[in-house]
Structure 1
Amino acid sequence: MPVAVGWRRLDMVMVESGMATSRSHAARLIADGYVTVDGLVADKAARKVAPDARIVVTNAGLVGRGGLKLRGALDTFGVSVVGKRCLDIGASTGGFTQVLLERGAERVVAIDVGHDQLDLRLVMDPRVENHEGINARHLQEGDFGNRFPVVVGDLSFISLALVVDGVVNVAADDGDVVFLVKPQFEVGKDLVGRTGIVSDPNLHRSAIAGVARAFELADWHLRETVESPVVGGDGNREFFVWLRKKS
């Protein structure tokens, strides 16, 4: 059915109206279920909307669903970020960064391999350093000055085992590392269902164990794990790991 004259892509309208900083940011908000059009949850960034459509972003002040996830993990692990300089790897829209700031972090260095994703509120925050186009696999000691007492991360489409060297290069020896483990990127494509969902609890445990082994080889010990209170955008269960260097 032809689209009426004047109808435009939802993501473009969101950017032009200031609801999102970029089309990729708009797409993430839509995928996370934060956007409604005329009272109904939007399903696609490319969907066409009428000129008079009522578009609402209902994220209750959060810049991404990641914030809901990290809050619970920090509470469970008892990791304090007060007065600390933190590194957020795979920052995306900045959900983790936002939580670190609200928990009292002195400064957050936010890095991501992508571009134009960090929420404008965080881009403008003087406590945030935004570095784009940074691959965590290639991090070296001294890249951002002194090592970080707190490192958090949320990565997709890559196994965390591949970024261990980069992470330990920039984490302080007495620091805390908190990462989100996504089993669908850890267990191998052959073990992921056709829907992209990893439902077998044994595979969840295997994913966590694989990440733990990779850090153990770098002398970092798994202290605790906890399941994320919020499932991934694709419906997968996710898990946080807390690691510290062996003393």
Structure 2
Amino acid sequence: MRLDKYLTDHYKDITRSQFSDFIKRGFVTIDDKVITKPSFDVLEHHVVKFNKDDVFVSRGGEKLEHAIDVFGIDISNKVVIDVGASTGGFTQSVLNHGAKHVYAYDVGTDQLAKSLRSDVRVSSFEQTNILDVNLPENDLIVIDVSFTSVLPILSHVTPFAKEIIFLLKPQFETTKDMLKKGILKSEKEISKIIEKTTQHLKSLSLQILGFTPSPITGKDGNQEYLIYCTRS
């Protein structure tokens, strides 16, 4: 039996696609050896180990965890809005740090991990364009969006924000002709995008409190950046 199917059969609250990602990220061992192929054939004598308590539901959780640590942000008892929640990596991270409640928004459907959908501290809003929403009162907004520019989203959420942590993904802030197999390699273009983003934040009266490269690249290998800001 394929490894990803074997794990799905044993952990009903995690989808096969999520397990495929976990396996590729090295969170599963067989006979104490890390296996990174979802198609690995599991035999009867194999000892398969997976500690779901050590794993974020998506790569996003690890990225936000880095920002919280580097910037020294206290999340305890805060009401958080997660824009672009997807499977819930950011949501999981802030809950782990003591968030009181999370409003999770995404344009997709049925993506949020089952463990988060069933958590009373999470309110999930699917098939929802954040640009059409008047956001509830909150202490922190976290943003992780793909295939669209983050700048219009920042413009929309700022009036509702006290603090914001967002992922800047240069590959989605440039034109397609600048990408090579989905990757933005031009350091000059990346610098221009960072400067443009900085100026946009200033125009919104947002003060940058922290800026750090993500410790994990995007799925295609693009370098991304975590930015922490507050309304000045």
TM-score (norm 2): 0.81
CA deviation digits over 1:91-123, x for unaligned, max 9? 122111111111111111111111222122212
Alpha-carbon distance change, 15 to 166 in structure 1, aligned in 2, over 3 angstroms: farther
Q: Is the 8 A contact 2:13 2:115 kept in 1?
A: no
Select between 217-226 and 56-65 the one with higher mean Cα deviation: 56-65
Structure with the largest fraction of helix: 2
Residue 131 of structure 2 is aligned to residue 137 of structure 1: yes
Residue 68 of structure 2 is aligned to residue 62 of structure 1: no
Partner of 1:235: 221
Partner of 1:42: 37
Partner of 2:142: 152
CA deviation digits over 1:62-113, x for unaligned, max 9? 2222221111211222222111101111112211111111111111111111
- Equivalences for 1:219-234 in 2 at 5 Å? 219-234=205-220
Paired with 1:66 and 1:200, the residues of 2 have a C-alpha distance of 24
> Of 99, 105, 112, which residue of structure 1 is paired with 2:99?
105
Amino acid paired to 2:188 = N
Amino acid paired to 1:227 = P
Q: Is the 8 A contact 2:76 2:100 kept in 1?
A: yes
Give the superposition deviation at 1:161: 1.2
Residue 173 of structure 2 is aligned to residue 186 of structure 1: yes
Paired with 2:118 and 2:173, the residues of 1 have a C-alpha distance of 35
Alpha-carbon distance change, 104 to 156 in structure 1, aligned in 2, over 3 angstroms: same
Q: Is the 8 A contact 2:27 2:55 kept in 1?
A: no
Aligned alpha-carbon RMSD (Å): 2.9
> Of 209, 215, 235, which residue of structure 1 is paired with 2:201?
215
Q: Is the 8 A contact 1:90 1:154 kept in 2?
A: yes
Residue 158 of structure 2 is aligned to residue 164 of structure 1: no
Partner of 2:86: 92
Select between 84-93 and 55-64 the one with higher mean Cα deviation: 55-64
Give the superposition deviation at 1:13: 6.5
Paired with 2:9 and 2:98, the residues of 1 have a C-alpha distance of 33
- Equivalences for 1:198-209 in 2 at 5 Å? 198-209=184-195
Paired with 1:222 and 1:139, the residues of 2 have a C-alpha distance of 25
Partner of 1:75: 69
SS in 2 for 1:41: coil
Give the superposition deviation at 1:197: 1.6
Paired with 1:20 and 1:41, the residues of 2 have a C-alpha distance of 21
Paired with 2:121 and 2:218, the residues of 1 have a C-alpha distance of 28
CA deviation digits over 1:109-140, x for unaligned, max 9? 11111122212221222111122112222232
Q: Is the 8 A contact 1:21 1:117 kept in 2?
A: no
Paired with 1:99 and 1:121, the residues of 2 have a C-alpha distance of 13
TM-score (norm 1): 0.77
Q: Aligned pairs, how many?
A: 228
Give the superposition deviation at 1:57: 5.3
Give the superposition deviation at 1:18: 3.4
Alpha-carbon distance change, 32 to 139 in structure 1, aligned in 2, over 3 angstroms: farther
Q: Is the 8 A contact 1:67 1:96 kept in 2?
A: yes
Query: Identity over the aligned pairs, expressed in percent?
Result: 32
Q: Could you list the runs of 5+ residues in structure 1 that have no partner in the other structure?
A: 1-6
Q: Is the 8 A contact 2:18 2:57 kept in 1?
A: no
